[in-house]
Amino acid sequence: MEALRMLTERVSAPQLTGPGITPQEQNILLRSALRAPDHAWLRPSRYLLIEGENRRALGEIFLQATPDWQSLSAEKQQKVLNMPLRAPLLIVAVSCIQEHPKVPRDEQLLSTGAGVQNILNAAWALGLGAIWRTGDMATNPQVIEALGLAPQDVIVGFVYIGHINCTLKQPPELPLDDFVTRWKAKSS
């Protein structure tokens, strides 16, 4: 089945280029994200789409949020400014945590993470490349505020999406026995 092959062969694409992602493709990516498991139907996930010149504005936000950025070399400042330019589309995945007696914070974060995984899989199915990044900017209060998020909101990741512009590394197949144990109840 094509879906199973896709799930077992998907890899991250670290180098992405244009053209941009069409509105139809964006719609598929986001509809896929919203199919993630969500206990109690809390819908904690939000997705900010950043493309075009807005990526440059995000780069400025990143630079201003970098501690002691004025003391960085011009080359390092440019590297920070260019971070959002690594792909034609960035999707900032955010978990808006809600107090709930049966759905803890971690479960809400995992729901948003599952949404990100669905975006990555949908991008791969569309023939696009994607990579999920976090880093210091994901937890930086200045970035969170500049993006219009509440202080308790959590950036789960910056998902870079575009057309693959590199040779993809195929990681070795991992032996299941290194990661899977068939649990058995202790006999009495």
pLDDT at 39: 86
What's the CATH number for 2-178? 3.40.109.10
Q: pTM value?
A: 0.94
46 is in an annotated binding site: no
Quote the pLDDT of residue 89.
99
Contacts for 13 with CB less than 8 Å, ≥ 6 apart: 129, 130, 131, 162, 164, 165, 166, 168
Question: b/e string for 48-70 if b means 16 or more Cβ within 10 A?
Answer: bebbeeebeebbebbbebbeeee
- Would you state the pLDDT for residue 1? 54
Helix, strand, coil in percent for the chain, rounding step 5? 45, 15, 40
11 is in an annotated binding site: yes
Nearest one of 85, 89, 157 to 128, comparing CA atoms: 89
10 assigned binding-site residue: yes
Answer whether 156's CB lies under 8 Å from 94's CB.
yes
Query: d(Cα 112, Cα 34) in Å, to the nearest integer?
Result: 9
DSSP at 26 = H
pLDDT in tens, 91-142: 999 999 999 999 999 999 999 999 999 999 999 999 999 999 999 999 999 9
Query: What is the pLDDT, as a whole number, of residue 64?
Result: 98
pLDDT of amino acid 21: 98
Which segments in the chain show pLDDT lower than 70?
A: 1
Within 10 Å of residue 89's Cβ, how many Cβ atoms? 23
Tell me: is residue 56 an annotated ligand-binding position: no
- 132 marked as part of a ligand binding site: yes
Question: Residue ranges of the domains in the chain?
Answer: 2-178
Instruction: Establish whether 12 is an annotated binding residue.
Output: yes
Query: How much is the pLDDT for 187?
Result: 87
Q: Are 51 and 89 in contact (CB under 8 A)?
A: yes
Q: Consult the annotation and say whether 167 binds a ligand.
A: no
